[in-house]
Structure 1
Amino acid sequence: MPRDIIILECTEAKAEGKPTSRYTSTRNKKSLNTPGRLEKVKYNPFLRRRTLHRELR
């Protein structure tokens, strides 16, 4: 199976003392475009704004 299931966690919530939001997504294992951790801007309902979410390993 060439796609891998990953978890994206908010990077700004811990600094503000709020609960972190998590999303699940998929990524291509063999893609040369994303060799490191995947980062996406997603909505955090606890902070009520869009924040940067980074892949957990």
Structure 2
Amino acid sequence: MGKNKGSRITITLECECRNSQNVQKKIIKRKNGISRYTTSKNKRNTPSRLEIKKFCSNCNSHKIFKEIK
């Protein structure tokens, strides 16, 4: 039988450029919309919010993506 995956949860990562309007004016936008990723994390090992550097298609560069609820 398989193990229970009770400690792993699915989270959504969102770019911080969505909240700051000043950054978007300086950078040429590639397309409209929100850049988001989904991943899973172990809530026992990582109880705090996750931050990962990934590619943002909205900014056309690598940015820090933060976990949202």
Q: TM-score, normalised by structure 2?
A: 0.68
Q: How far has the Cα of 1:12 moved from its partner? A: 1.8
Instruction: Name the larger-Rg structure.
Output: 2
Greater shift, 43-52 or 14-23, is seen at: 14-23
- For structure 2, the 5+ residue unaligned runs are 1-5, 26-31
Q: What letter corresponds to residue 12 of structure 1 in structure 2?
A: C
* 1:20, distance to aligned residue in structure 2 (A): 2.5
Matched with 1:24 is: 38
- Does 2:54 match 1:42? yes
Question: Are 2:58 and 1:55 aligned?
Answer: no
Tell me how many residue pairs correspond in the alignment: 55
Normalising by structure 1, we get a TM-score of 0.80
CA RMSD of aligned residues (A): 1.7
Is 1:5–1:24's contact at 8 Å kept on the other side of the alignment?
Answer: yes
Question: What one-letter code is carried by the residue in structure 1 that aligns with 2:9?
Answer: D
Identity of aligned residues (%): 33
Q: Which residue in the other structure is 2:3 paired with?
A: none
The corresponding residue for 1:9 is 14
**Matching residue's letter, 2:15:** C
